[in-house]
Each structure stands twice: as structure tokens, then as C-alpha cells.
Chain A
Amino acid sequence: MNINYLASLIAVIVLFLLVYVGVEAAGLRYFFGVLLPYLAVIIFIIGFVKKIVGWAKTPVPFRIPTTCGQQETLSWIKPAKIDNPTTGSGVFVRMLLEILCFRSLFRNTKMELREGDKLSYEWEKWLWLFALAFHYSFLTVLLRHLRFFLEPVPGCVKFLESIDGFLQIGLPGIMISGIILLAALLFLLLRRILIPQIKYISLASDYFPLFLIIGIAITGILMRYFTRVDIAGIKELTIGLVTFHPTVPDGGIGGLFYVHLFFVSVLIAYFPFSKLMHLGGIFMSPTRNLTTDTRATRHINPWNYDVKVHTYEEYEEEFREKMIGAGLPVEKES
């Protein structure tokens, strides 16, 4: 057993008990259903904005993109316009591919020592594949949830649902995104637990969001497919939240819903203080989002300052005689 994932798992279980007992025994429905979600959103917005502003206000003194292809140089050599972008549009495409397709992760290889002393590098696509699966299914689930916050439900959300539920198995219809989300989460969790190197580098803060989102996914799936929940009551609550007329419907909504909502609240409140901020950071990474025409266009460092230099005069002063002796030109003859 590893203290890092154990601690995270226990934390999520404690959170579960907290809300379940809080709602079922103490009846704190308004607290968990209204106050905490509002608080979480406030924390999220302030925390997120503060973090982004903090990064944005920090200068970029040097232009240090990682060049991953041929530079733009002589006219007859084909430059890598995306991997070594000299123009804004090149950077835009590079960032787009990075953000939407996880391009750098796509390059991932797995190193192995074979036959005793031969290094080999094999394309390792699973991390990339499951990372993509996780992010896109999570996004889909998130967008589907707009149905709970908008009345009438917009056509695009209905359309998304119809694609998501194209399998049409059973009743209610299976939403493929939820299944993929849970599967991807389990993959990401298991690789942290089973691959020794990944386990070694993993912190509690790597397991915690995984367990938390797994909790969110499981409670969501339970509500949708396995238990009866009062959808109308839930929608009354969620619409109340977004229209700033919060109400807590009497009864009907089970404890499971409050667990779901509480986990989501914890996740978004936790977000700005955690590694999840890679959501914002990826847009601002100086090794990716800058042009590489560093010799063609001068980059300005706002805090550039003068430094002490060993001048030519000082140099000649020290070596003048030797220079003259060797026939090297000097500024002053003696």
C-alpha cells in the first residue's frame, strides 16, 4: 500500500461520508445543495483568474520555444512551419494541435533495453489515447449537463446527446461518453498504481483528482441507470442555482445526488490550487506559444539591465605588450 493513493482514497471516502451523513442524517440540503456549490464556483472563479493573471503578469524575458523541426532559413530549405513556427499562424496551429490533439504526447515512445545492450524506442500510444479519451468524454459529459441549467434545452445539447447515445441500448439509452470517461479514468489510475516508475513519481495530489472524478462518474452513472432519482426536482434545483433563485425541492432528490453535486463542488474549488491548472497553463507555455524567428525579430526583455563587462580596453591594458609582440593590432601603442 502506498500512502499517496491511500490518503487520496481515504480523503474521497471521508468527503462521501460527510455529504451523505450531512444530507441524510442532518438534513443539510440547503448547505450542500446551494451554499457549497455557490462557494465553490466563487472560489473557482477567483482562484482561476488570480492564477492566470499571476502568470500573465509575469514577464517572458526570453523567447525560448522548443524547436521540433527545421528552422526557416535559406529559401530552398523547407521549414517546419508548425513545429518551428516563425509566424503567428504557425504558432496558432501548433497550439491548436497541442491543445486539441495532445500532439507532443502523441510522440511518446517507450524505451527498452533488448538483447542485453540494444536500446529500442517503441511508439507508445496508450497514454495519448486514454488521455484524449478522458478529456473529450469529460467535455462531452460536461456539455450534456447543460440540459440541467438551460430551459428550454438548446438544440445543440440535444444533438450532442443523440450522438452520444447512438448505441441505443436499453432504457434509458446508454451514453457512451460516461462509459469512456470511467474506463479512461481507471486506465489513468491503474497505470499510476501498476507501473513502478509512474507510481514512484505520483503524489497524493495526482490520485486525489482521479478518485474524485471517478466518484463523480460513478454517482452519475448510478443515478442515470441504477437508481430512481427525481429528475424534475434536480432540474428545479439546478435552474434555481443558475437563475440566482436557489430553492431546495422537498424530498425526492436522493442523497446520491448530493454526493454527486458535492464532489463536483470540491473538484471545482480544488481546481485552481492544483495541477488541474494545466488547463490554463498549456495556453501560456513559453516553449510552445512563441514564434521561433528569434534571429529575425528582436524580443524585448522588460527587465533587461546592464551588467559588468570586461571591456576591450581592460583586456588590451592587460595584454598590450604581448599583443604587440605577436604583431596583433592594438588601440594604444603604449
Chain B
Amino acid sequence: MSEPRPDELIRKMEHKPHQKGWMDTPVNIRKGMYCYASNPKSVEYLGLPNARAWNPLDVDWKLPPDWQEIIHKGFRERLDKFRSFKIFMDVCVRCGACADKCHFFIGTGDPKNMPVLRAELLRSVYRNDFTIAGKILGKIAGAREMTIDVLKEWWYYLFQCTECRRCSVFCPYGIDTAEITIMGRELLNLLGLNIDWIATPVANCYRTGNHLGIQPHAYKDMLDFFVEDIEEVTGVKVEPSFNRKGADILFITPSGDVFADPGTYTAMGYLILFHYLKDMGLDITWSTYASEGGNFGFFTSHETMKRLNKKMYAEAKRLGVKWILGGECGHMWRVINQYMDTMNGPADFLEAPVSPITGTKFENARSTKMVHIAEFMADLIKHKKLKLDPSRNDHLKVTYHDSCNPARGMGILEEPRYVINNVCNHFYEMPSNTIREQTFCCGSGAGLNAGENIELRMAGGFPRANAVKHVHQKYGVNMLACICAVDRAALPPLMDYWVPEVGVTGLTELVANALIVPGEAERTTDLRGEELQGKEEAEDA
């Protein structure tokens, strides 16, 4: 199957809905737009319901005979447990302000990707099952029965939402489609209807501590490779420690950065930064047990999220550290910022985080006891603790992509910009409607970063790519910085597709490029082995 070319994809983006009503338009599960079904082994490993092999294209999804009952009860249970869900089911007035805010609607033109309609897919069943008006008036009140076709429609469109929350910024009642998608996916999981790009990483993470299923010895090996690479570029030998009891700080970051370019350069960045700070008093350890910052459980159910997240505090307690430092990741930080303390706290065995180098007390993290690496680095730079040579990033013209969750589930907007401005000489912002709290998703978040749904990903990433293209053409931007591991995996193919010649980098990679490490050899390349500007000519002369 070949994916459509960019111009073909744009031609498909008609934002004109069908003549027929949406309830009368059955779902068409199309190749390139959906992810493969969950592997039964992964579902079984976690003890989640209805593990079996199934195919979304088959008529028979091998559901339990009482599936309607399960959905109905599950719906009721969640309405009783989450005020958000109940209110969001009741108060939407369908003003349509959210419609063209969704990257999937913009990119696919499919009307059911308007956030309001995505929610209506559930609301229609809610009205039928739980409201008086729906029970009496039926379809005229916007109610419909839960049928197998409706279920398939749920599945198709709830896995075309990246839970990025952009729509919720614009909603006059703050209705958050992420919340609706989260509930919908929970319900689907009651029937074993997950996608494999979520289910298998979750099972891996449960077993080995990280999504990629990297076992402890291999995890250490991978970091050892980076140690060698770093020595090649800088001449400095860094010495990370693992599972070390008695360290002051535990460092947790997404495993994606240990595994694949360009995230690996961000991981190298961490190693260099920690080495630099070692003599200044940083005592930090990595963990192989809690070797995943991300949490695909968040895309499965609240319970699964909690089961995976619990390792962070458990490992911090076992190692006896004072607090936890977290790497660059998107949804990881939504989980840490808005869920972790509530689910798995109180972390009363830890101390309120204090930077050992600057003495800054991170008051904003005093209960959860976990600090974001961008907060940590911004504080270091502000206190002039890092010796930096920003000209080493002069071959880069950088723009910054606010990753959805840190932007709209946390609000970490200035710290990364402050860091970039101190380590790069050329920084250009994308248009204001596409950054900060209005940032556009990469199109592959919330577990949708698979290979088989590439058309969906390229369409969903179009608004982001389009804004990058704007600064690429206007200022010659050639590097897109971000603080999310999924971004680092998803944006490179997106750039190749829409804006070739723009690379993707993590924040810490840029810092490590600029960081003047004591005892280092003169750098002629950046961490990627690319020639630094000016060095080439100097050598020739």
C-alpha cells in the first residue's frame, strides 16, 4: 500500500460534510487510517479482558456475548466516578467553536474528527441509555442505541484523537475531548479493543520497565554506546550509574530516547549534562526498573496508567533518593503533573526538590517531588552555572514546537524558550496561533505513532508541519526543537513528508552541543557528527 503524496492529501482535505446526517453515515474503516489490533499476548500479560486475535477489517470482532451490557455498565460506572465525564456529556451546546481547532479535522476533513462530533459519538449513546429526553424522543433528541456499527465507529474515531486538548482551550465550557477519548478508550478496553501500538508497549513496560521491552543489561549496554559516542565527539568519558542506592536524585526519561535517532542525541545530552554537573555536586542515578518516563497506560485506562506509574515512586523509595528528575516527554509530564501524586502519592519518603548546584527550591514541585529537566536547566543557566558556547549551534536555525501535554496540561512554555535562547543564536517562533497553549499536535500522540496508519499521521500532523514550513521559508529554519519523545519519533517523518530539510531535536541536545565541558577536546562536530560552522574553513585555512 503506498501512501498518498502531499498534494493528494491536501486535495482530500475538503471540509464540506456529507449531505446525509452523521448518524446515517456508517463508519468506513480505511487502511492507512487505523492501527492494528492488540496482540492477545500483551492483553493477557496485563490481565485485561477479552484477549484474542482479532482484525478491525473483519465483520466479527469476537466480542463477549454480553458486550452491550458491559459497555452500559462501564458507562454508568464512569459517569458516577468522574464529574468531568458527566458534565461533558450534559452541557455541550454544539456551538462548533472546537470544529476547526482539531488537527485531525483540519488534516483529514472527516467531519467525525470535529471534536464536537467525536464526543457526540459517545453522547448519542449516553442520551439513549441515561437521559429521559433520549429515552422518550430517541433520534430526534440525538440519541441512538449502542450497536456493533456504533462500537466500530467509536473504535475508529477514538483512535483518531491524540488527546492533545487543543479543542478544550477554545471550548466555552472547557469540554476536553481528551477526557472523552480517555473514557471511550477505557470502555473499548473492557471489550479487549485496544490497538497494538499501545497494548504491547504497555505490556513491555509492565514487565521490563520500559515500552520498548529493553531488558536491564541491554538498557545499560545502550547507554554505554552513548558513552563511547560522546567520547568520540567531546573527548570526555562520562560515567552514568544505574540502580544506585543512596544517590540524591533519580532520573527518569522516556525509553524512546535510548532507542532511536534523533532522541538518542537528547539522551547523550543528559549524560553530558550530568557529567558536567557531577563535580558541582550532582549525585544522580538512572534506573532500569523505572526506565520509562512515558506511560502508554494513560492511553488504555486510568487503572493501567496507575499500574505503570507506580514504579516511579516505588523505585525512588527503594533507592532512597531525595527527589526525581524527569526528562523531556509529553504525556509523561501530564501524568506526573496532574495524576501521579493523586494516584500513587503521597511521596512523603522524598524531600521537596532542591537543586544541589544552585540551591533553588522547586516550590512548584514540593508535593509531587519531581522536577522537569527544562525547569532544572533554566535554573542552572539563570544562575550562570553552565559555561555555554551558543555559536556551536550556529549551523542551526531553530524553531520550537510546544508539545501538547506540557503546554496544555502543565504550562511549561517559557523555560524551554529561555534555554534555547541561551544555547542558540538563531531562534524563530512559529505563528502565534500554532504555539504555546494553541500549539498543534505532531499527529501521532496518544499511542498513534504506528507505521500502518501513516496517512492519518501525515494528515494529522499537517497543521504543525504547515507552521514549520512557514518559518522554514521565511527564515530558513532547519531545526525543530521539542520536549517530547513521541515528537522526536513522529516529527522526523512528518518533516520529510511536508517540509524536507528540517530536522528534529530535543532541548537537551542543543544544550549539550553548546556546553563547554572541562577537559574536552575542541569540538569539530555536533553530537550528530555534523560539521560545526566555521570549523571547516578554519581547518582549510
In the complex, chain B residues 238-284 whose Cβ is within 8 Å of any chain A Cβ: 242-245
- Contact, CB under 8 Å: B243 / A329: yes
- Any chain B CB within 8 A of the CB of A293? yes
Residue in chain B with minimal CB distance to A284:
B87
Residues of A within 8 A of B17 (CB): 196-197, 199-200
- Any chain B CB within 8 A of the CB of A247? no
Q: List 27 A-B contacts (CB under 8 A).
A: A55-B87, A58-B80, A60-B83, A60-B84, A67-B411, A70-B413, A73-B375, A74-B375, A74-B382, A77-B418, A105-B97, A105-B172, A107-B438, A111-B106, A198-B99, A201-B99, A273-B131, A278-B172, A281-B91, A281-B173, A286-B83, A286-B87, A295-B367, A300-B342, A301-B342, A307-B307, A312-B318
Partner of B168, one of A206, A274, A281, A287: A287
Partner of B342, one of A51, A62, A105, A329: A62
- Contact, CB under 8 Å: A311 / B314: yes
Given contacts A58-B86, A64-B338, A71-B412, contact A107 B170 (CB under 8 A): yes
Residue in chain B with minimal CB distance to A204:
B140
- Contact, CB under 8 Å: A127 / B94: no
A contacts with B: majority SS = loop
- Contact, CB under 8 Å: A277 / B91: yes
Interface size on A, residues (CB 8 A): 100
- Contact, CB under 8 Å: A71 / B363: no
- Contact, CB under 8 Å: A67 / B91: no
- Contact, CB under 8 Å: B172 / A72: no
| Given A197-B17, A275-B93, 8 further pairs, Cβ under 8 A | A67-B437, A84-B411, A131-B95, A198-B96, A285-B175, A299-B342, A319-B217, A323-B217
In the complex, chain A residues 122-151 whose Cβ is within 8 Å of any chain B Cβ: 127, 131
- The digit string for A191-226, where 1 denotes a CB below 8 A from any CB of B, is 000011111111111100000000000000000000
Enumerate the 10 nearest inter-chain pairs by beta-carbon distance, A residue then B residue, closest first.
A281-B91, A71-B411, A326-B217, A67-B411, A287-B174, A200-B17, A203-B142, A111-B100, A295-B368, A121-B433
Given contacts A284-B87, A288-B174, contact A200 B82 (CB under 8 A): no
Chain B residues close to A by CB (< 8 Å): 6-7, 10, 13, 15-18, 21-22, 47, 79-84, 86-87, 90-97, 99-101, 106, 111, 114, 116-117, 120, 131-133, 140-142, 165, 168-176, 179, 206-209, 215-217, 220-221, 242-245, 288-289, 302-303, 306-307, 310-311, 314-315, 318, 336-339, 341-343, 345-346, 360, 362-368, 370, 375, 378-379, 382, 407-415, 418, 431, 433-434, 436-438, 462-463, 466-467, 470
Residues of B within 8 A of A328 (CB): 216-217, 220, 242-243, 288
Residues of A within 8 A of B302 (CB): 61
Query: What CA separation (Å) do A74 and B90 show in the bound complex?
Result: 39
A309 to chain B, nearest CB (A): 5
- Contact, CB under 8 Å: B433 / A66: no
- Any chain B CB within 8 A of the CB of A87? no
Query: What CA separation (Å) do A69 and B368 show in the bound complex?
Result: 21
Residues of B within 8 A of A303 (CB): 81
Residues of B within 8 A of A285 (CB): 84, 87, 91, 173-175
Query: What CA separation (Å) do A138 and B375 show in the bound complex?
Result: 48
- Contact, CB under 8 Å: B366 / A296: yes
Residues of A within 8 A of B142 (CB): 203-205
In the complex, chain A residues 73-103 whose Cβ is within 8 Å of any chain B Cβ: 73-74, 76-80, 83-84, 86, 98, 102
Query: What CA separation (Å) do A69 and B366 show in the bound complex?
Result: 21
Residues of B within 8 A of A73 (CB): 362, 364, 375, 412, 415
Instruction: Report which residue of B80, B95, B244, B360 has the largest number of chain A beta carbons within 10 angstroms of its beta carbon.
Output: B95
Residues of B within 8 A of A72 (CB): 364
- Contact, CB under 8 Å: B306 / A307: yes
Given contacts A284-B87, A299-B342, contact A197 B174 (CB under 8 A): no
Residues of B within 8 A of A293 (CB): 364
Residues of A within 8 A of B418 (CB): 77
Query: What CA separation (Å) do A312 and B409 show in the bound complex?
Result: 30
- Any chain B CB within 8 A of the CB of A154? no
- The digit string for A283-320, where 1 denotes a CB below 8 A from any CB of B, is 01111100011111111110110011111100110110
- Any chain B CB within 8 A of the CB of A54? yes
Residues of A within 8 A of B79 (CB): 58
Residue in chain B with minimal CB distance to A2:
B21
Instruction: Report which residue of B132, B217, B310, B466 has the largest number of chain A beta carbons within 10 angstroms of its beta carbon.
Output: B217
Residues of B within 8 A of A71 (CB): 364, 410-413
- Contact, CB under 8 Å: B221 / A55: no
- Any chain B CB within 8 A of the CB of A251? no
- Contact, CB under 8 Å: A66 / B168: yes
- Contact, CB under 8 Å: A298 / B346: yes
- Any chain B CB within 8 A of the CB of A171? no
B465 to chain A, nearest CB (A): 10
Query: What CA separation (Å) do A131 and B172 show in the bound complex?
Result: 11
- Any chain B CB within 8 A of the CB of A332? no
Residues of A within 8 A of B215 (CB): 319, 322
B234 to chain A, nearest CB (A): 24
Residue in chain B with minimal CB distance to A318:
B207
Query: What CA separation (Å) do A296 and B363 show in the bound complex?
Result: 7
Residues of B within 8 A of A250 (CB): none
Residue in chain B with minimal CB distance to A47:
B132
Residues of B within 8 A of A58 (CB): 79-83, 86
- Contact, CB under 8 Å: A61 / B342: yes
- Contact, CB under 8 Å: A206 / B364: no
Query: What CA separation (Å) do A80 and B133 show in the bound complex?
Result: 41
Query: What CA separation (Å) do A101 and B146 show in the bound complex?
Result: 38
- Contact, CB under 8 Å: A322 / B217: yes
A23-31, A112-120, A174-182, A258-266 - the one binding chain B = A112-120
Instruction: Report which residue of A278, A295, A310 has the largest number of chain B beta carbons within 10 angstroms of its beta carbon.
Output: A295
Residues of B within 8 A of A83 (CB): 437
- Contact, CB under 8 Å: A67 / B407: yes
Residues of B within 8 A of A77 (CB): 378, 414-415, 418
Query: What CA separation (Å) do A294 and B175 show in the bound complex?
Result: 20
B409 to chain A, nearest CB (A): 6
Given contacts A204-B140, A287-B168, A304-B343, contact A312 B314 (CB under 8 A): yes
- Contact, CB under 8 Å: B364 / A205: no
